Structure 1
Amino acid sequence: MTAIPLETTATSAELTRQLCDIESVSGGEGAIADAIEAAARRAPHLDVTRVGDTIVARTALGRDRRVVIAGHIDTVPVNGNLPTRPLVVDGEEHLWGRGTVDMKAGVAVQLKLAVELAEPVFDVTWIWYDHEEVGEEHNGLRRLAAEHPDLMQGDFAILGEPSNGQIEGGCNGTLRAEIRTRGVRAHSARAWAGHNAIHDAAAVLQVLQEYRPREVDVEGLRYREGLNAVRISGGVAGNVIPDECIVEVNYRFAPSRSLEEATAHVVDLFAGFDVRVVDAASGARPGLDAPLAIEFIEAVGATPQPKYGWTDVARFSALGIPAVNFGPGDPTKAHADDESVPVAQIAGTEASLRAWLTRS
């Protein structure tokens, strides 16, 4: 099948529209990966490698430093918000639709610059990867790190996650745990013959209700933690006393805490309950004292902020590569049905990256 043509000579906002209108809910990234690969292969200065639906495009100019710039190409499910359309918010031009914020505006900026900048001052590795919005085991960047770690090497990395066109350093870690209570089944007409596991879950919810999350300073940035119930399941039938209830909690922890420390914290909080960690990922320290990070901050002219959510900067951090989040779009609009990105912010992000990569 012929790849959908992308007009990389268009503005980055127009390229955002083109990319967003190629639906790419996680698991269905083939068409957009084909389009990005075809566009990258038209640029003679790029060496292009495809791993599944992840596209890697690299310069080989013999520069003494290499920068990795990455973005994911999948989105959460569409909910009546495609195709994209122009929108005016408070007198400002926006592009509305799924993926405009998270994070095809960032991908559009990256793809336009990758194709146009044949002589950047650094060697650059551009990565557009699949399956970011789903389970860890499917993540294209995780697969790339495991199978082709050489393609991810660099001195500094930028992830185009939405950050309102500002720099967000590091990221919180995340942990999901299931807290189980157990009871004894009985007929609900003779409840005294059993023990209600759902009622016991009240003690779990009380711990969460009384919990006060920390605010933690890490390398000059203040990270906010959070511990919340995100799902409750239990019950057998309308006339049966339940013998099990599961409260799923999500702990977002500052990057000063290791995964082991975060796990121990949750286990201690729910002492006496059956606690099972079902998913976890370490955070990433800001790393803003790295030479290229300092240069980038100065070039953008921004005051770095913390990234409260988990992002794939943590994968670069685990490889010893300092990394920041930098992309257009308000992160509070990510995954929202009214997702939209300011057009001026797309252009501003492109201008900042272009100036830094060309020293212009």
Structure 2
Amino acid sequence: MKPLDLTADVVSLTAALVDAPSVSGDEEVLADAVEAALRAQAPALEVVRSGNAVLARTNLGRPTRVLLAGHLDTVPIADNVPSRREGPLLHGCGTVDMKSTDAVFLHLAASVADPVHDVTLVFYDCEEVEATRNGLGRIERELPDWLAADLAVLGEPTDGLVEAGCQGTMRVRVTTSGVRAHSARSWLGRNAIHGAGAVLRVLEDYLPRDVVIDGCTYREGLNAVKIVGGVAGNVVPDVCEVDVNFRFAPDRSAAQAEAHVREVLAGLDADVVLTDMSPGALPGLGSAAAQGFVTAAGGTVRAKYGWTDVSRFSALGIPALNYGPGDPNLAHTRDEHVVVAKIVECEAVLRRYLTTP
């Protein structure tokens, strides 16, 4: 790919990033370009490489440090690379999630010479795949001092609003058992799929909480997301599995969330096994650094619905916010696109935050 020009306008820089395919696990070419551009165009920054992640930071002795984190990878391309501009919109894979924010971060790295906060930039790999491959986890293990900060801003798409914290997410597999029999003599068996009906009724009747934390309302949800059962068209099945997803407010710990789900399902004749767990993140709006960013962004904050890597920063004791120009509802879609004015707006907000005492 052509060398990146970090001094170009953020919309052109976004297009250049989109035009460099970087599906999860294949970020090397883009990471090479980002590293080369930072070393050449932001020489005051300390730059290091970790796999296909690129990290850079100032060391100015400021009283506070702000970490700007964005992932370089995208979901698989859906005939939407290279980028294309149509009036006020820029189309292409990653325009929303999250190369537009990466472009903002890179442009600021090259153009803000005297920030009021020390700044760390983390452009990492493999966010869109299983958590064990996430570049932030590797950085935490191998370069933990690079994640130290008073505030982390994660460039997830928020449509230009500040979204605080995130929901936790867990999944359990609920298994009902029966007795296999020929369907012509079904009275000799016990149908496990029918037994799963009790599980579905409990979930249908479940009343989720709305929880207000630091002025942000987090809505919980407990839902069946997959059912597997059946042997053949003439067999009464003896096993049925229902996968259940719990999206929980960040006032619950992982242990409390699991205990709650087990309590809800306790009266069923079924086995419940935890299969996946990621804790949520509290809003962290009490810190001066977070309040300053919210003020710079216009003062409006809402809860983050969904899980993001702010959870990793929260676990490290770092207040973390989600902020980026794209509409999250367009992420991962074939028609992924971003409003170019939102990219410009987010660049202005972050510039104001980094340069205003």
TM over 0.5: yes
The question of 1:27 aligning with 2:25 is answered: yes
Question: Which residues of structure 2 form unaligned runs of 5+?
Answer: none
Partner of 1:172: 167
Partner of 1:95: 90
Partner of 2:35: 37
> Sequence identity of aligned pairs in percent?
55
TM-aligned CA deviation for residue 355 of structure 1: 1.5
- Which shows bigger deviation, 330-339 or 344-353? 330-339
- TM-score norm. by structure 2 comes to 0.95
- Taking the TM superposition and a 5 Å limit, the aligned residue runs for 1:110-189 are 110-189=105-184
Partner of 1:224: 219
TM-aligned CA deviation for residue 193 of structure 1: 3.0
- Over residues 219-278 of structure 1, what are the superposed CA-to-partner deviations in whole Å (9 max), with x where a residue is unaligned? 221111112222222223333332222111111111111111110111111113211111
TM-aligned CA deviation for residue 212 of structure 1: 2.3
- Taking the TM superposition and a 5 Å limit, the aligned residue runs for 1:1-360 are 4-42=2-40, 43-88=42-87, 93-271=88-266, 272=268, 273-359=270-356
TM-aligned CA deviation for residue 194 of structure 1: 2.6
- Which shows bigger deviation, 200-209 or 347-356? 200-209
Q: Cα–Cα, structure 1 residues 84 and 189, in superposed 2: closer, same or farther, change >3 Å?
A: farther
Q: SS of the residue aligned with 1:280?
A: strand
TM-aligned CA deviation for residue 289 of structure 1: 1.4
Amino acid at match of 2:53: T
After the TM superposition, list the runs of 4 or more consecutive aligned residues in structure 1 that deviate by more than 4 angstroms: none
Conservation of the 8 A alpha-carbon contact between 2:156 and 2:322: yes
Conservation of the 8 A alpha-carbon contact between 1:234 and 1:244: yes
Amino acid at match of 1:31: V
Distance 2:29 2:192 in 1: 47
Length, aligned pairs only: 354
Conservation of the 8 A alpha-carbon contact between 2:166 and 2:250: yes
Distance 1:35 1:227 in 2: 43
Q: SS of the residue aligned with 2:114?
A: coil
Amino acid at match of 1:85: R
- Over residues 108-139 of structure 1, what are the superposed CA-to-partner deviations in whole Å (9 max), with x where a residue is unaligned? 11111112223211111100111111222111
Conservation of the 8 A alpha-carbon contact between 1:68 and 1:156: yes
TM-aligned CA deviation for residue 81 of structure 1: 2.4
- Over residues 18-61 of structure 1, what are the superposed CA-to-partner deviations in whole Å (9 max), with x where a residue is unaligned? 11122222222222222211212212111111111111111111
Conservation of the 8 A alpha-carbon contact between 2:7 and 2:110: no
TM-aligned CA deviation for residue 326 of structure 1: 1.0
Q: Cα–Cα, structure 1 residues 149 and 187, in superposed 2: closer, same or farther, change >3 Å?
A: same
Q: Cα–Cα, structure 1 residues 234 and 342, in superposed 2: closer, same or farther, change >3 Å?
A: same
Question: Which residues of structure 1 form unaligned runs of 5+?
Answer: none
Q: Cα–Cα, structure 1 residues 81 and 203, in superposed 2: closer, same or farther, change >3 Å?
A: farther
Q: Cα–Cα, structure 1 residues 201 and 286, in superposed 2: closer, same or farther, change >3 Å?
A: same
Q: Cα–Cα, structure 1 residues 187 and 24, in superposed 2: closer, same or farther, change >3 Å?
A: farther
